[in-house]
Chains A and B, each alone.
Chain A
């Protein structure tokens, strides 16, 4: 069969919402796009453990500590599911991880911001996980089977993450004046970076996106961002906090909230490595990996010895 014919069959499946599975024929560019996207997603989960992990040792109650530990641990699990999905496309996990450590692969810029107070843990749960969930729910229907299945599992597990964040803020918003100020301050700092998570505005480029045709992605940046703003504005009322955007206003004609312009200079700078924590985050990951090398080697060596002994016993 010619490549054109194979591509036609492939696109036909995608159009009919038939999932693509690892052994199915797929265009090279589709495979490449998936490897890049899923591995960046995986790295985001793993690097994302760091800003929140920063508060595990200082969580203000035993209950909060247990919840935060479980949550950050879930992110390790999510990274693992996603690395496994990348592996089905022929790229081993360690290769994918090396690409992160070498600076070749990217992860979500949001995790390059620091967590300064306990309220940041709430703000991350509410805003960052809130934004992530919109993206992830969409990805549950993505065309590549292993990715979609990983996302279904992740979405199921994530459902408590946003709630716990909101609950942290809710308690703070009803607390002492200092706690209220802490809550508002965290929201002030995390609001704009959360909006940036959805990427540049739709109209900024004229190149059409192959990912949409391939149904890897299914909603545009602005669609998701608007959905996020509409959702958060309502929830903010319950918290009795203000969102740091004077342009934020209900637009009855559109049936949506209008909001102000994102600081794109900041956005590009964080993407390019100039965020407050870019270097620390990568350094922490490299350190964990390098210091774990002897453990991984030892386990592999021991497995070989054990297998050899068992073979000898059988013989």
Chain B
């Protein structure tokens, strides 16, 4: 099992794991909709997003595994790490809730991811820049799709408006974590590899506010809400353990088997 060590190389690996974990955990959550969506077209759409995200996760894990060497693979990184070494943001591991909550989360995260990948295009690490470039196209569509749905549901019926407002209130306190750098992020910035997440917050806020306004939803005032954090440092909600137990079940039950 991978144990993070506090060295410079481990910082980059942790940075990659963080990027991969964000994508994988949200992909895992979104994939729960497959076969259960509100209408076939959207069942297909959310699954496309899930597939894009799992692809991004694999790219980051493959690179991390190559840096780590030894027996590490994308699958050992995804399936053999425990709750305390997963480095995703808390928001991504939360249960889906209703379709509105799923959409709102996708919107918050995609806008963040778009800004992040845009910044990573400048990474001194060519592999990171290349993954960011490829993923950016996908994420640009996710932003478009989820923004439209936030607007549609926010400005739809009274019921949909109420549900979206509830989702907004529920998720808002998890948005701050995007912009609080973990140690490996700060280190990655210092080396010219990573993106300065704190610097993305202003633009994120503007973009999100514009969509919320069009959706006739209230725009939360910056700095007023207590923000949850910890996921990026491996301190998660109670939900992640169950998610991993399910996801990792076969790899854990049959150690060493090939699938």
The interface of chain A, by Cβ under 8 A from chain B, is: 46, 49-50, 53, 56-66, 69-70, 72-73, 76-77, 79-80, 83, 118, 168, 171-172, 175-176, 178-179, 284, 287-289, 291-299, 301-302, 305
Q: Are A295 and B153 in contact (CB under 8 A)?
A: yes
Q: Are B40 and A72 in contact (CB under 8 A)?
A: no
Task: Report if B219 contacts A (CB, 8 A).
Answer: no
The binding surface of chain A is classed by DSSP as helix
Number of B residues with CB within 8 Å of any CB on chain A: 50
A-B CB contact pairs (8 Å), 30 listed:
A53-B34, A56-B31, A58-B247, A58-B250, A59-B250, A61-B251, A62-B74, A63-B58, A64-B259, A65-B31, A66-B51, A66-B54, A66-B58, A69-B34, A69-B51, A72-B34, A73-B48, A76-B44, A79-B40, A80-B44, A175-B259, A179-B254, A294-B160, A295-B160, A296-B38, A298-B153, A298-B157, A301-B156, A302-B151, A302-B152
Q: For chains A and B in complex, what number of residue pairs have CB atoms within 8 angstroms? A: 142
Q: Measured between C-beta atoms, what is the minimum distance from B83 to chain A in Å?
A: 17
The interface of chain B, by Cβ under 8 A from chain A, is: 24, 28, 31-32, 34-44, 47-48, 50-51, 54-55, 57-58, 61, 74-75, 78-79, 98-100, 151-153, 155-157, 159-160, 163, 246-247, 249-251, 254, 256-259
Query: Do A176 and B50 contact each other (CB < 8 Å), given the known contacts A49-B34, A79-B40, A305-B155?
Result: no
The binding surface of chain B is classed by DSSP as helix
Q: Measured between C-beta atoms, what is the minimum distance from B63 to chain A in Å?
A: 14
Cα distance A305–B256 in the bound complex, in angstroms: 57
Q: Which residue from chain A places its CB closest to the CB of B58 in the assembled complex?
A: A62
Cα distance A103–B249 in the bound complex, in angstroms: 35
Cα distance A96–B186 in the bound complex, in angstroms: 56
Q: Are B254 and A176 in contact (CB under 8 A)?
A: yes
Q: Are B47 and A288 in contact (CB under 8 A)?
A: no
Q: Are A76 and B35 in contact (CB under 8 A)?
A: yes
Query: Do A57 and B99 contact each other (CB < 8 Å), given the known contacts A76-B44, A297-B157, A302-B152?
Result: no
Contact of B51 among A53, A73, A176, A299 (CB under 8 A): A73
Contact of B36 among A176, A288, A305 (CB under 8 A): A288
Query: Do A61 and B75 contact each other (CB < 8 Å), given the known contacts A53-B34, A294-B160, A302-B156?
Result: yes
Chain A contacts for B42, CB-based, 8 A: 295
